[in-house]
């Protein structure tokens, strides 16, 4: 499942390809699951609009739109509607030549003024398409890459849950998934089962730096594969993070050679070094 760095990478790739282009029309498939807004609402919001930009909000891809006519008249940056895509487990947004073969499990095709098409393909149909009026789309939680230290520390005050569970709680932080939580805790020397409330301000400040570091590194690594990911060939292109603990149960710690342990916390695998993390 794509996590924050993957979605960021995909959103940047889409922004580079389709910003400034105009959506002339949209075709939506008959499967009901991908449509969180109705087909009529989606068509009304996105047809004849210019794509101002594409960005990530939490784990959503957001297309900021304005009427194509308005954009032609003046260099306005006013967003009048938003097209929101959640990739779910297997969703992909492809930028294709209109003549390229339509893949099975294509649920939406937006025809662009440039002659290309934006296609949403999702075999398992956990992905969601929706629209919102200007700037109305909001997601819960704090954006980890933009979080300030005091705000971050306040999220965990008095929380008796393990820090690992708190990091995965999307109402607190947006988009931090299992891999990035484990890797950040390792870099900070905190055990995943530690109660959030028992962690000092200094350690939490360090944890925030680790989270930002891990996410940024992953985004940089993802950059190399994004062109494949959103390319016409539809090839998968998730980056491979240099994991230090995640998925390394029984292997030796890269710092102290102690075997990495795996425990299950709130139903999710957690990996840590029993010597480096306290």
Q: Applying CB under 5 A, which residues contact Zn ion?
A: 253, 255-256, 258, 273, 275-276
Q: Shortest gap between Cβ of 187 and Zn ion (angstroms)?
A: 11
Lookup: tokens for 11: 């959103």
Q: Shortest gap between Cβ of 258 and Zn ion (angstroms)?
A: 5
Closer CB to Zn ion, 23 or 253, in the complex: 253
Q: Which residues contact 57 (CB under 8 A, 6 or more apart)?
A: 84, 137, 139, 143, 174
Catalytic residue among 12, 56, 59, 128: 59
Q: Shortest gap between Cβ of 260 and Zn ion (angstroms)?
A: 8
Q: How many CB atoms lie within 10 A of CB 246?
A: 20
Closer CB to Zn ion, 12 or 206, in the complex: 206
Match 């003024």 to its residue by tokens: 113
d(CA 236, CA 230): 9
Closer CB to Zn ion, 168 or 276, in the complex: 276
Lookup: tokens for 135: 């700037």
Match 């990035």 to its residue by tokens: 180
Is 3 a known active-site residue?
A: yes
d(CA 256, CA 249): 15
Closer CB to Zn ion, 149 or 255, in the complex: 255
User: What's the full length of the chain, in residues?
Assistant: 278
Catalytic residue among 2, 5, 34, 192: 2
Q: Shortest gap between Cβ of 219 and Zn ion (angstroms)?
A: 26
Is 2 a known active-site residue?
A: yes
Q: How many CB atoms lie within 10 A of CB 212?
A: 16
Report the catalytic residues.
Answer: 2-3, 59, 268
């Amino acid at each position: 499942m794509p996590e924050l760095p993957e979605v960021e990478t995909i959103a940047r790739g889409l922004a580079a390809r389709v910003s400034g282009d105009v959506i002339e029309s949209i075709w939506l498939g008959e499967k009901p699951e991908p449509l969180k807004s109705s087909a009529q609402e989606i068509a009304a919001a996105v047809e004849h609009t210019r794509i101002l930009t594409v960005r990530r909000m939490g784990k959503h891809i957001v297309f900021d739109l304005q009427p194509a006519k308005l954009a032609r008249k003046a260099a306005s940056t006013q967003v009048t509607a938003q097209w929101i895509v959640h990739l779910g487990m297997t969703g992909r947004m492809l930028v294709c030549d209109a003549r390229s073969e339509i893949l099975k499990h294509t649920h939406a095709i937006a025809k662009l003024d440039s002659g290309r098409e934006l296609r949403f393909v999702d075999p398992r149909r956990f992905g969601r398409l929706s629209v919102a009026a200007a700037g109305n789309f909001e997601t819960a939680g704090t954006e980890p890459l933009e979080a300030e230290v005091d705000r971050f520390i306040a999220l965990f005050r008095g929380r008796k849950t393990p820090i690992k569970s708190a990091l995965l709680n999307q109402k607190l932080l947006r988009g931090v998934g299992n891999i990035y939580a484990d890797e950040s805790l390792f870099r900070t020397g905190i055990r995943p089962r530690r109660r959030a409330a028992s962690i000092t301000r200094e350690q939490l400040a360090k944890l925030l730096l680790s989270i930002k570091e891990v996410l940024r590194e992953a985004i940089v690594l993802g950059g190399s594969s994004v062109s494949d990911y959103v390319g016409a060939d539809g090839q998968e292109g998730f980056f491979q993070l240099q994991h230090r603990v995640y998925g390394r149960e029984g292997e030796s710690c890269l710092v102290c050679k102690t075997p990495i342990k795996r425990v299950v916390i709130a139903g999710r695998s957690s990996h840590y070094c029993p010597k480096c993390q306290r």
